[in-house]
Structure 1
Amino acid sequence: MELNLARKNVLIIGGSKGIGLEIAKRFIEENANVSIVGRSIEHLNEAKLQLKHVTTYQSDITNNYEREGLIEKYILDHDHIDILINNAGGSNGSSILETPMENFYEAFELNYFSSVHLSKLVLKHMKKRGSGNIINISSIYGRESGGKATYNNAKAALISFTKALAHEVIKYGIRVNSIAPGSVYHESGVWGRLTRENPNKIEEFVKNDIPAGRFGKPEEIADVVVYLSSEKASWIVGATINVDGGQSKMNF
């Protein structure tokens, strides 16, 4: 399918490994102008070895000032932005009663506030051009219980933000959507670590909790991201699409 993404300016937050790296690969295959953002210069350099014609930006997107500097530098380098992928995320803490408040603040800064702020920063540029796409990577656990509350709460807020922002900016020709992955395996991710620590327990989890009988692959998320970024998905606005092998237990 021809997605007409050639020469589109794409900025991928959290693009140096895992799902973000696969998203970058897919956009490059579509001949888009791809830039990735990461906190670790080591991971960014490793990503550059795998990707051709990619621009990298080192930034701690949990920091308000670094977010502002990132978008300012990106626009100076590329003139405009067509597609923003908010892919940064991670979990912390344990049970609610045992998790200190600073962990909740940290989780929201990484999983929620960074996406809100970066979206606001790029929207003024997208509005000038009368077009644009913002895709937020949320989680099925933003819609149902399971996992750590700090992460779930922040991803639930991100899903709500996606819907609200989409309604506000579609009149400017800007589409905002979200993808909610289920459990996705990659070596640098939490499921990679847990599998190495306790393979028998993880095998049982996959058997009991994922109807498809396996973990998702980063490229399976990336394929949906690229499609959703294209005009082939022009009537999808404010949606959160589960990509989870049937793992989610919600009815809607």
Structure 2
Amino acid sequence: MNLHLQDRVVFITGGSKGIGRAIAEAFLHEGANVAVAARGKEELETCQKELGVLAIQADLAVESERERAFAEVLKKYGQIDILVNNVGGSNGTTIDQTELQTFQEAFDLNYFSAVHFSKLAIHEMKKQSSGSIINISSIFGREAGGKPTYNGAKAALISFTKSLADEVIKSGIRVNGVAPGSILHPSGNWQKRIDEDPEKMKAFVEAEIPAGRFGSAEEVANTVVFLASEKASWVVGATLNVDGGQSKSNF
């Protein structure tokens, strides 16, 4: 399917590996111009060499670093048509045993980075009366599972997605989200857990994922590219589960 994304400028945070890199590859396949930002120098260099993307090293939990990264994309391409807020991470343990500072760090990376980049992006997108923002959250933003710091930040991101979508659609900007379930890729936690205890992970899949397997980064990326295209022109403020039926939420 031709999604008519040729020459669109796409900026992906956390785009050097895993789901972020798969999203970058999917947009490149559609003929888009892609920029990625992440903290890891080695992964960024590999991504730039293998894919030919604009690779920007930055700590996206830091406000000044986000502003610098965004400015580099504008300097290179002059505009941003599609923003994918993918950067994120999990930290802490139980609520009782996790310091308040750790919760704040989780929100800085998973939530406030997306809020800040979205504010920067809509300022530019309003100039051209068009644009698309995709926020990558998690099924655990809707229900318990995983670490509480991560769950809270992703829940906030899902709510933010709907609020921003309703605010900016009149300016021609669509905002949506994708909530992945358990996604398997070489650099992810699920691969580490499989390596440590394959039988335990086999039992987890059988008990928790109706589709009977882990999802792939490419399956998340395909959904993101669709949502960013005009084929999804009437999808506004939605956060779509991509989880093989794993989520317990039915509304």
CA distance in 1, matches of 2:179, 2:93: 22
- 2:123 aligned partner: 124
- 1:54 aligned partner: 53
CA distance in 1, matches of 2:31, 2:19: 19
After superposition, the C-alpha distances for 1:158-177 in whole angstroms (9 at most, x for unaligned) are 00000000000000000000
Percent identity, please: 57
Structure 1: stretches of 5+ with no match in the other structure: none
Matched to 2:176, the amino acid is N
CA distance in 1, matches of 2:35, 2:67: 16
Matched to 2:42, the amino acid is E
**What's the TM-score, normalizing by structure 2?**
0.98
Cα RMSD after superposing both structures: 0.8
- 1:32 aligned partner: 32
CA distance in 2, matches of 1:143, 1:126: 29
- 1:153 aligned partner: 152
- 1:230 aligned partner: 229
What's the secondary structure of 2:220's corresponding residue? helix
CA distance in 2, matches of 1:167, 1:60: 30
Deviates more, 1:196-205 or 1:24-33: 196-205
The offset of 1:122, in angstroms, is 1.2
Q: How does 1:77-116 map to 2 (within 5 A)?
A: 77-116=76-115
Aligned residues: 251
- Runs of 4+ in structure 1 deviating by more than 3 angstroms, as ranges, are none
After superposition, the C-alpha distances for 1:139-176 in whole angstroms (9 at most, x for unaligned) are 00000111110000000000000000000000000000
After superposition, the C-alpha distances for 1:103-161 in whole angstroms (9 at most, x for unaligned) are 10111011000000010011110001100000000000000111110000000000000
The offset of 1:49, in angstroms, is 3.1
Structure 2: stretches of 5+ with no match in the other structure: none
What's the secondary structure of 1:106's corresponding residue? helix
The offset of 1:48, in angstroms, is 2.2
CA distance in 1, matches of 2:66, 2:15: 15
**What's the TM-score, normalizing by structure 1?**
0.98
CA distance in 2, matches of 1:39, 1:68: 14
What's the secondary structure of 1:111's corresponding residue? helix
What's the secondary structure of 1:3's corresponding residue? coil
CA distance in 2, matches of 1:201, 1:159: 31
